[in-house]
């Protein structure tokens, strides 16, 4: 018996129509798994976007050791960071900036002398990526008299490490979630296969191949998985539309998070394709027992 695509599609749709509860259960299970995966992936994507944006807004500060020549250090920094805005900040000016930033709490600095803070050279680096900022900071450590170079790297690098570990953990959880979902859905589909066991055995007796018997079930799992993944993608878009105004209000204007930052088209497509793959795997697991019978 040869495979006829239209006949396979018709048999798969008829099977789902005869067992709508089982089909709905499979779709719902895959939807829940895909939704959780999408939420986790969107969080990582947003975190990476914020990391890149924050890194691009940093100012690198070269703090000088006592007695270092500020003008010589400024010239050295300008040579190491061509095209960047470089500013020499004497200790007294740095202290005045700090007092201005503290506002009413500036009185806390009343007991400090003008040399309480070190002289510094600041480099404005708009649009710089975190690896480039790290490389520039390494070069600036060679500035004569430099005691320390800072660009907010301590917390930026902690965030970078966290996101890197979260991606690895997310990948492991994704694999476990996909396998667990496939097993759950396969148990659901197995009920549909069991309900049609007489039909399957008759087809096998008259010479039907495993491909002929299994194709409608495989397509059924594929369609249910794609439906679950597609519904998860739509739900994520709905959540973004509902939460986007609050998210925009909570972030600084220079750090916007667009829909493409959180939910890129590749992620939405992957949810649909991943759901279809899980449904196909589940149908294969459900059929394995029956197709192995002599």
Mean pLDDT for 38-47 is 80
Q: Is the pLDDT of residue 258 over 60?
A: yes
User: pLDDT class for 230, splitting at 50, 70, 90?
Assistant: very high
User: pLDDT class for 41, splitting at 50, 70, 90?
Assistant: confident
- Tell me the residue length of the chain: 294
Q: Is the pLDDT of residue 3 over 70?
A: no
Q: Is the pLDDT of residue 102 over 70?
A: no
- Residues 6 or more apart whose CB falls under 8 angstroms from that of 176 comprise none
Q: Are 95 and 114 in contact (CB under 8 A)?
A: yes
Q: In this predicted model, what pLDDT tens digit does every residue of 172-187 receive, in sequence order?
A: 877 777 777 777 777 7
Q: Is the pLDDT of residue 68 over 80?
A: yes
pLDDT at 256: 61
Tell me the percentage of the chain whose pLDDT exceeds 70. Answer: 69
Q: Is the pLDDT of residue 120 over 80?
A: yes
- Hey, what's the torsion of the CAs at 21, 24, 28, 30, to 10 degrees? 110
pLDDT at 2: 47
Of the listed ranges 54-63, 137-146, 253-262, the one predicted with least confidence? 253-262
pLDDT at 289: 64
Backbone angles phi, psi at 293, to 5 degrees: -70, 140
Tell me the CA distances in angstroms from 109 to 9, 101, 113, 114, 137, one per residue in order. 78, 12, 9, 10, 29
Mean pLDDT for 58-70 is 83
> How far apart, in whole angstroms, are the C-alpha atoms of residue 66 and residue 191?
79
Q: 148 forms bridges with which residues in the sheet?
A: 63
Q: Are 197 and 290 in contact (CB under 8 A)?
A: yes
pLDDT at 174: 74
Q: Is the pLDDT of residue 14 over 80?
A: no
Q: Are 50 and 44 in contact (CB under 8 A)?
A: no
> How far apart, in whole angstroms, are the C-alpha atoms of residue 239 and residue 122?
42
Residue (of 229, 221, 242) closest to 286 by Cα position: 221
pLDDT at 23: 82
Q: Are 76 and 140 in contact (CB under 8 A)?
A: no
User: pLDDT class for 260, splitting at 50, 70, 90?
Assistant: confident
Residue (of 73, 182, 70, 81) closest to 124 by Cα position: 81
Q: Which residue has the higher pLDDT, 203 or 143?
A: 143
Q: Are 182 and 283 in contact (CB under 8 A)?
A: no
> How far apart, in whole angstroms, are the C-alpha atoms of residue 175 and residue 278?
11
Tell me the percentage of the chain whose pLDDT exceeds 90. Answer: 6
Q: Which residue has the higher pLDDT, 226 or 41?
A: 226
Please give the domain boundaries of the chain with CATH numbers for all domains: 5-54+157-291 (no CATH), 59-151 (3.30.70.3040)
């Amino acid at each position: 018996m040869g495979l006829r695509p239209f006949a396979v599609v018709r048999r798969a749709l008829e099977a789902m129509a005869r067992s709508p509860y089982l089909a709905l259960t499979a779709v719902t299970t895959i939807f829940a798994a895909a939704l959780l995966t999408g939420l986790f992936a969107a969080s990582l994507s947003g975190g990476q976007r914020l990391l890149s944006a924050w890194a691009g807004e940093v100012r690198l500060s070269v703090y000088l050791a006592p007695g270092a020549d500020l003008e010589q250090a400024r010239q050295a920094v300008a040579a190491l960071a061509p095209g960047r805005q470089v500013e020499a900040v004497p200790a007294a000016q740095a202290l005045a900036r700090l007092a201005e930033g503290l506002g009413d709490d500036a009185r806390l600095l009343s007991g400090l002398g003008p040399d309480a803070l070190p002289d510094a050279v600041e480099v404005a680096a708009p649009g710089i990526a975190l690896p480039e900022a790290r490389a520039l900071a390494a070069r600036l450590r060679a500035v004569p008299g430099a005691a320390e170079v800072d660009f907010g790297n301590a917390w930026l690098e902690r965030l970078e490490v966290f996101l890197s570990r979260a991606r690895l953990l997310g990948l492991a959880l994704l694999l476990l979630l996909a396998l667990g979902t496939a097993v759950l859905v396969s148990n659901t589909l197995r009920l549909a296969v069991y309900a049609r066991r007489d039909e399957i055995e008759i087809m096998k007796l008259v010479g039907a191949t495993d491909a002929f018997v299994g194709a409608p079930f495989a397509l059924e799992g594929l369609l249910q998985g794609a439906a679950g993944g597609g519904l998860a993608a739509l739900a994520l878009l709905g959540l973004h539309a509902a939460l986007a105004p609050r998210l925009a209000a909570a972030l600084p204007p220079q750090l916007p998070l667009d829909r493409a930052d959180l939910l890129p088209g590749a992620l939405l497509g992957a949810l649909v394709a991943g759901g279809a793959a899980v449904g196909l795997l589940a149908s294969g697991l459900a059929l394995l027992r029956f197709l192995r019978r002599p």
